[in-house]
Structure 1
């Protein structure tokens, strides 16, 4: 390795490096120039580029960060070179944004397509895989929408920007698979398949609801997780179960 030996705890090298102290003022100037230039360029990306980021916009952010970082404190990087690179990145973004508006194929390639995750209280495992979501991710997003059980959901779509669009029954939703409380805190009770059951049950693998009177059979989805009680109000059901348990403990 060539060059002078490194002296440990050389405060001049640690704090200032090889540059003279006056270079600190140049860093201030460089940062101000690049900051103002970025503000001007970001006005061209539109407000959507500053909120939810698509794949294209994420690439733009990474490219802008890389192009804007070096000229801030590397004296060998001219400001005009960095400003040209930043302008080209934003220009490419504007061209691609125009193509997305004009071409359905380009829009699908760049931003993907919405994915239907839930239909009439039943969620699709294959759709979750396409959306790169787990069952717990779906349930968490549904809870943010105020959904307590899947029977409330007529349709749920995973949109191109990563949001979940939920269409619910207006009144009196049918019973469904409970998503509250979160299963990590309180997993639903798995019904014993060797005992006869009465009423509505929900598949733990897909949320499909069946009315049974007798022994349980396998779900059409082929899942192995089993069944749990389908309910219209999981919180009320949980409170009723707590009251029942309390009554059993207090009984003589």
Structure 2
């Protein structure tokens, strides 16, 4: 016995490590507990619907966390009654079904639970404040656009950060103007930077928001976001002539298929 009256722990005691202080027959009870809780979880998840099993909204993610927390302990703790855990799990799923019903019937509840889509790009120009609201950086946006075959922002008519966390983009088509280059990734090959006051001939794009400017003299600060850095605008950063066809017109990547704005305003 230790000084505090509790049993002294013997290091590397295999019986303690593998069985603890319960009889070996309790292993069969764990098999029964785990099987019962697993089947109960499968039944409850089936009730939540197919969407809950495929693509999780914030509400459904909270439900999954709650289910996992409530289902784990009764599987192997002998002092946790199974009926108590099953009732807890049933209540969690019941609340989920109630909230799902309210989300469908009440737009205010839907907005509070699932949020609203955020417009990140309009006519080739990013909205830095929208990026901040969506908790995305410029690099995050560029990564998602590259996955859809976008080479420069001028190709994008609209880009929305959806409620489920996906990005939906609508392209301008073959007549897209020049814009801020998205490829190569800036971490690997940053574009040339032109500071305010530099003299440059040709169209430039703001490195912060993508606003286009054809300077008549020294470069000013960006009129849209006050950024002091520009880069030459481009129609095809990779220079292979493939910047406006193929896969860009086919997809919205994570957000779904092509939409009605596919030829968007130029």
The answer to whether TM tops 0.5 is yes
1:221 deviates by 2.8
Aligned 1:94-113 pairs, distance under 5 A: 94-113=97-116
Question: Is 1:84 equivalent to 2:87 in the alignment?
Answer: yes
Contact 2:202–2:215 (Cα < 8 Å) also in 1: yes
Which residue of the partner structure matches residue 42 of structure 2? Answer: 39
Q: Distance in 2 between matches of 1:184 and 1:124?
A: 21
- 1:222 and 1:160 mapped to 2: Cα distance? 26
Gap change, CA 1:222 and 1:164, over 3 Å in 2:
closer
Give the deviation of 1:5 after TM superposition: 1.3
Distance between the aligned counterparts of 1:195 and 1:158, measured in 2? 35
Structure 1: runs of 5 or more not aligned: 239-252
- Secondary structure at the residue paired with 1:25? helix
Task: Report if the CA contact (8 A) 1:45-1:94 is conserved.
Answer: yes
The verdict on how the C-alpha distance between 1:195 and 1:83 changes in structure 2, with shifts beyond 3 A counting, is: closer
Structure 1 residues 134 and 213: alpha-carbon distance in aligned structure 2, compared to 1, 3 A threshold: same
Contact 1:231–1:237 (CA<8 Å) still a contact in 2? no
- Whether the 8 Å CA contact 1:150–1:178 is kept in 2: the answer is yes
- Deviation (angstroms), 1:172: 1.9
Structure 1's 195 and 67: CA in aligned 2 closer, same or farther, altered over 3 A? Answer: closer
Is the counterpart of residue 55 in structure 1 residue 58 in structure 2? yes
1:149 paired residue among 148, 152, 155: 152
Q: Deviations 1:147-193 (Å, cap 9, x if unpaired)?
A: 11000011100000000010111222100000100000001101255
Pick which of 217-226 and 135-144 moved more: 217-226
Higher helix share: 1
Tell me the residue number matched to 1:243: none
Relative CO higher for 1 or 2, CA cutoff 8 Å, sep ≥ 6? Answer: 2
Between stretches 192-201 and 100-109, larger displacement belongs to: 192-201
Q: Offset at 1:144?
A: 1.0
Number of aligned positions between the proteins = 238
SS in 2 for 1:235: coil
CA deviation string 1:47-103 (max 9, x = no partner): 111122211111101100000000110011111111111111111100000000000
The TM-score with structure 1 as length reference comes to 0.90
